A and B are shown apart, each in its own frame.
Chain A
Amino acid sequence: MSYFTAENLETAHEIISRYPRKKSALIPLLHLAQEQEGWVTDNAMRQIAELADTTPAEVKGTGSFYEMFKFHPVGAYMINVCTNLACQLLGGEELLAHAEESLGIKAGGTTADGMFTIEDVECIAACTEAPCLQVNYRYKLRLTADDLDQLIDDIRNGRATDIPEHGTLGLVRQHIPAGAGAGIVAPEQATERPVWLARNDAAAEGREG
């Protein structure tokens, strides 16, 4: 019932090795799982639990706190249209309505071909560029209805090469070679006080002296 591909499983082990406690790797592992399938399946969480020495309940409890992890199938392209204040004033809601009409689905829904999911989101921190949206968390700014139609058309016809399918965060995965990590140890295994504590003490002594 393993979920990860051989390559991803290797990456998972590499991720886990960066942390003093395996459980600390839960979030990056969930991202990896989402990258593989576009959403986080129950099987993925079972395997993550096994890898991180915890229970599937804890994996799901941790992951489900975060909106960006999807625990049900979503489209390959997730369109998040902002309808918060600045965007609303400049036509964000109309843009969302247009997207819904163009794709024939309501916000929260997924097209039958599994290509698109639309979401209505709160402020995505690009108020100066309103109205704006994200496709798989890549910004598209100051959009008109026509721009949106063009974008959808580009994606449909494979012209949006800058946007990977849902789940992929970065086009390049950073690999930290073993031994190049920060060498952080679990608090209970630490034999020395953290460097910064000693620094603080020295500073305090300086003040007293």
Chain B
Amino acid sequence: MTAVENEKSTVTVTLNGVEIEANPGELLIDAAERHGTYIPRFCYHSRMKSVGMCRMCLVEVDSGRGPALQPSCMIPVGEGMTVDTESEATKKAQDGVLEFLLINHPLDCPVCDKGGECPLQDQTVAFGPGESRFVEEKRHYEKPIPISDTVYLDRERCILCDRCTRFADDVAGDTLIHFMDRGNSTQVNTFPDEPFASYFSGNTVQICPVGALTAKPYRFKARPWDLEETISTAWIDSVGSRVTIQSSRNQVLRLLGVDADSVNWGWLSDKERFGFEALNSEDRLTAPMVRVDGRLEATGWAPALAAATDALRDVDPARIGVIGGARLTNESQYAWTKLAKGVLGTDNVDAQLGDGLPVEAVLGLPRATINQACTPGRTVILVGPDPKEDLGALFLRLRHAVVNDGTTLIELTPTRTGLSTIAAHSLHPKPGEVDLLAAALVDAVSGDAHDAAGVPANAIAAAAASISGPVTVVLGRASVAESAAVTVDAAIALSQLEGVGFLSALRRGNVHGALDMGMAPGLLPGRVPLRAGCDAFDQVPTEVGMDTIAMLEAAASGDLDVLVLLGSDPLSDVPDADLAERGLAGAGTVIAVEMLPNASTLTHADLVLPAAAPTEVDGTFTNLEGRVSVAEQKVTPPGTARADWMIAAELALRLGADLGVESPESIRAEIAVVSPVHAKLTETALADGRVEGVLISGSSIEAPTASGSTTPANDAYSLRLVAARRMYDNGTMLQASASSAGLAASVKVTLNPTDFEKLGLDAGTVVKVISGRGELMAPLAADFGVPAGSAMIPTNAPGSNVNTLIDASASVTDVRVERA
């Protein structure tokens, strides 16, 4: 080989008589598509392994031994390869394959939801025979059968492409559907009485190339040609998955994943995909409400705003608080920060509900992107919640990286997670001691391995030895029963690792946007502290304000005159239910700005202002990497609900101040001027980043400092509480989604079976769980994934809320479990 050939980084292929340059190792089907030749396919999916099942992509390939029909999804390009996708042989093969695929296909297109967007339909028109020669009886099955609560399977329509089963097995790791039987009887099915209960089942519906898989929320709702669509951002969690929002007659009917290479690769969790149902819910707030004689009654905007203004006017800024804001777009968040901090002059603003992390831990540490975390050969350390439960699309990315790209995953989590089976090392510290474990891991990297947090030295040493390449720490609160300080201390310890980057695992939709827009005490828009000031604000509070917990404490002791709930439900979400109740009861006027009424609104709000949903406003969202992407208005808000920024602007006007905001664009322009880190967020950049978004980097926030707090030892009779989130819970949005509401499992207490003997209890027994704060009743469940000595109770589960057991001021919560 000559030197010149050695340097050549592409492979030359002759495609239909034209020479093209392909990347070495690239599949022929991809290379052809990149150069404008679409080869028909059913089973091939660029984000999954090729299997060559459907034979639709057969093309004539000559690699030097004469032309032969080859499946282009299985053939990597080769130097000098000649490919003909339009030859007679290719056409005949495509025609023949389609005739075979249609043998058993029922051709019930007129009643099939896929009709109009069906690859089988489209490709039959483009490449197939005009008519079938098959006169025999087709295969018959009961149609359709529900294979989960949301997904229906019509086996007659299935062409056995293996896409859904490959997704379930390879991508999601939930091998709950499989090919059953063989030959003419081959069918996709579940095991009897074991449904396809995957958090990601909706993806199989999206990738099904025929109408075999359909999802309940969209069945018989619309025809594809009646749908209007726009690219937007999912709002359910902070991954910021890119989606196509499809609507018809001013109603959102479906969300599809968009393949953004840096974010979700086209995948969505079912919560993201079907969460739109809540926005169409009949419970949506359509008019302002005011509490009259203890009951909320509808009123008009003018009296409602007047009441809100009256409550806010001439109040000591220190006696005003704003809790929430993670639901809002960046633009609305900026407007509310400007109203609270610039007009009202209060710094008591917190978008997190005491279940998140301090600003310094999110903005003050070097950050990493999802793609950096998932780069082959690197290491991911998980100090946070189970991504499968909290951040579905991130879970799929991490899983792919570990399974396929050799990323090393080390878990420092209180219990087993959805990634444990593929993690290189799963270390489970005693709740409240992950900081000690993190420090021990760092010690072990430098050769000094020792026991920590109940984990033996050799396990820590083995984990330390497996670290390769730069480390990304996925950082969040694994359990809200431990104080945030423990997580922060763990982050500080891990920040000593070389080349470390942090990927925040705060879960709420736009919580990272909220922090960037200054919705935290001591913070101003643009990731700057209060003392940096803000030219666009008339005033800036001088004192650092209170966080959610402190605000509720102040309210409980009668020191808060006005409490604004900006899309938040402290009663359900603050990890101290007792404090939340006392705080809401003790606050002067409670003003809620909400899409849907929640527990806190219904019981405590004096004034409710209806807000527009994410599909009803223009704006942007910021994901956990700091990536800003567009959310576009697709439908109009119900009733008189308004965008949150409009409400802020209106309130400001009535208070005699002009926020100077006219539209989301004008707010964005102001943000770009005010915030040094957002300077590159121009309309052009946003348009260019329509799919991938615009990554915002840099921060003026200092790194967190160690809390120095230590976790007390628990006594022999108590168990240490782990309160972790599950994907499906009693959350307001989920419970308003018709097809998903029933998926939330009722509360149970999960212990390691070895603890059962100690307590003399069995799985299924209803027990009383008692802490210093309160108690709850729930049945017991067994799981070896919960370490001995810990008790796992999901947060906000139907039945009883674990938050009643938690004391926000304690570093850990110990509980006793007794027979009820």
Q: Which residues of A contact B (CB under 8 A)?
A: 42, 45, 53-62, 64-65
What 0/1 pattern do residues 156 to 188 of B give for CB contact below 8 A with A?
000000000000010000111111111000000
Q: In the assembled complex, which residues on chain A have CB atoms less than 8 Å from the CB atom of B180? A: 60-61, 64
What 0/1 pattern do residues 181 to 209 of B give for CB contact below 8 A with A?
11000000111111000000000000000
A101 CB, nearest partner CB in chain B, Å? 29
- CB-contact partner of B191 in A53, A60, A65, under 8 A: A60
CB within 8 Å of A: which of B671-696?
none
Question: Which residue of A is nearest B192, CB measured?
Answer: A42
Question: Which residue of B is nearest A45, CB measured?
Answer: B191
- CB-contact partner of B177 in A53, A57, A64, under 8 A: A57
Q: How many residues of B contact A (CB 8 A)?
A: 17
What 4 A-B pairs have minimum CB-CB distances, sorted nearest first? A61-B178, A56-B191, A57-B191, A55-B175
Contact between chains at A54 and B191 (CB < 8 Å): no
Q: In the assembled complex, which residues on chain B have CB atoms less than 8 Å from the CB atom of A64? A: 180-182
Q: In the assembled complex, which residues on chain B have CB atoms less than 8 Å from the CB atom of A60? A: 178, 180, 191
Contact between chains at B176 and A55 (CB < 8 Å): yes
Question: Which residue of B is nearest A42, CB measured?
Answer: B192
A144 CB, nearest partner CB in chain B, Å? 33
Contact between chains at B181 and A58 (CB < 8 Å): no
With A45-B191, A57-B194, A60-B191 in contact, is A65–B182 under 8 Å at CB?
yes
Q: In the assembled complex, which residues on chain A have CB atoms less than 8 Å from the CB atom of B194? A: 55-57
Distance of A155 Cα from B752 Cα, bound (Å): 51
Chain A to chain B contacts (Cβ below 8 Å), 26 pairs: A42-B191, A42-B192, A42-B193, A45-B191, A53-B421, A55-B174, A55-B175, A55-B176, A55-B178, A55-B191, A56-B191, A57-B175, A57-B177, A57-B189, A57-B190, A57-B191, A58-B175, A59-B191, A60-B180, A61-B178, A61-B179, A62-B178, A64-B181, A64-B182, A65-B181, A65-B182
Q: In the assembled complex, which residues on chain A have CB atoms less than 8 Å from the CB atom of B182? A: 64-65
Q: In the assembled complex, which residues on chain B have CB atoms less than 8 Å from the CB atom of A58? A: 169, 175, 178
Question: Which residue of B is nearest A60, CB measured?
Answer: B191
Q: In the assembled complex, which residues on chain B have CB atoms less than 8 Å from the CB atom of A53? A: 421
Distance of A123 Cα from B177 Cα, bound (Å): 33
Contact between chains at A57 and B178 (CB < 8 Å): yes
Across chains A and B, the number of contacting residue pairs, with CB separation under 8 Å, is 39
Question: Which residue of B is nearest A53, CB measured?
Answer: B421
Question: Which residue of B is nearest A65, CB measured?
Answer: B182
Q: In the assembled complex, which residues on chain B have CB atoms less than 8 Å from the CB atom of A59? A: 191
Distance of A61 Cα from B176 Cα, bound (Å): 10
A43 CB, nearest partner CB in chain B, Å? 11
Distance of A62 Cα from B191 Cα, bound (Å): 12
Question: Which residue of B is nearest A56, CB measured?
Answer: B191
B163 CB, nearest partner CB in chain A, Å? 15
Interface centre among A54, A62, A64 (most CB of B within 10 A): A64
Q: In the assembled complex, which residues on chain A have CB atoms less than 8 Å from the CB atom of B179? A: 61, 65
Interface centre among A57, A60, A62, A64 (most CB of B within 10 A): A57
Question: Which residue of B is nearest A59, CB measured?
Answer: B191
Distance of A57 Cα from B175 Cα, bound (Å): 7
A41 CB, nearest partner CB in chain B, Å? 11
B141 CB, nearest partner CB in chain A, Å? 15
B66 CB, nearest partner CB in chain A, Å? 26
Q: In the assembled complex, which residues on chain A have CB atoms less than 8 Å from the CB atom of B181? A: 64-65
Distance of A128 Cα from B233 Cα, bound (Å): 70
Distance of A57 Cα from B192 Cα, bound (Å): 8
Distance of A56 Cα from B181 Cα, bound (Å): 14
Distance of A80 Cα from B192 Cα, bound (Å): 28
B15 CB, nearest partner CB in chain A, Å? 34
A48 CB, nearest partner CB in chain B, Å? 11
A53 CB, nearest partner CB in chain B, Å? 8
Distance of A57 Cα from B179 Cα, bound (Å): 9
Distance of A61 Cα from B421 Cα, bound (Å): 22
CB within 8 Å of A: which of B730-777?
none
B402 CB, nearest partner CB in chain A, Å? 12
Q: In the assembled complex, which residues on chain A have CB atoms less than 8 Å from the CB atom of B191? A: 42, 45, 55-57, 59-60
Distance of A109 Cα from B179 Cα, bound (Å): 26
Q: In the assembled complex, which residues on chain B have CB atoms less than 8 Å from the CB atom of A42? A: 191-193
Distance of A59 Cα from B189 Cα, bound (Å): 12
Distance of A88 Cα from B176 Cα, bound (Å): 43
Distance of A59 Cα from B178 Cα, bound (Å): 9
B196 CB, nearest partner CB in chain A, Å? 8
CB within 8 Å of A: which of B321-341?
none
